Amino acid sequence: MILFPAIDLKNGQCVRLEQGDFAKQTTFNDDPLAVAKDFEAAGATWLHVIDLDGAKDGVRANQETIRSIVEHTSLNVQVGGGIRSEADVKALLELGVNRVIVGSMAVENLNLLTSLAVAYPGKILVSLDVRDGFVTYKGWQKQSPITTLVMCRTLRRIGIDTIIYTDIATDGMMSGPNLSAYAMLKEATDLNVISSGGVRNIADLKRLQELGLSGAIVGKAIYLGHLDVKEAIICLQDESSPA
């Protein structure tokens, strides 16, 4: 299982939100590139980046910060936040981003998502941000009538093979991931599932790995010092090694 350290960008700073609430923001660092380099030095191979300005307002205010991370580290980078057009996707891929994450598009413009999945195979991930069993969109600010499993089946049909699943109730709360939701997804779909939200420590990561998830995104636990990136990566590699 891959560990994805997370950087959430707002106004060029590294921040975290609580349950997606922009009014509950904590700024952890004003130098995201330095944070990314620290993750790289600890052994991370991937970085998960969310452009919160893009998610909230559709404003691409953090492009140069993302470019700097891509150009000055060897990390594979996946980026999401307000991706609503093919132009947005192309702009990020031209920066050297490895994968682009879409969310609202899956609810609002499935035809466009279908064409993107064909045009950029392996480059498009869909983030399912779920509250009370229903998919949200517009930076978690609006709730759709679409259930998680209905959306998963639709995504698989159009050629998406990997999702990021966030249980909004656990995000940023340091309460542990929603293990039952991940177990349900692995049993009911053949999608590659990346967890997001709630991871507190290495024990949580081990539980997710045991469920067969392909990755786990971790932010707050790292910034608060509850989870060491280097130690976590070594532990996940050891757990996946043959006996």
**Confidence tier at 57 by pLDDT (50, 70, 90):** low
Other CB atoms within a 10 A radius of the CB of residue 199 amount to 27
| 138-156 tens-digit pLDDT | 777 788 899 999 999 999 9
| 77-106 tens-digit pLDDT | 999 988 989 999 999 999 999 999 999 899
**Amino acid code (one letter) for 224:** L
**Confidence tier at 55 by pLDDT (50, 70, 90):** low
Angle, CA of 216, 13 and 138, to the nearest 5°: 65
Catalytic positions, written as ranges: 8, 129
Residues 6+ apart with CB under 8 A from 86: 112, 115, 116, 119
Domains of the chain: 2-240 (3.20.20.70)
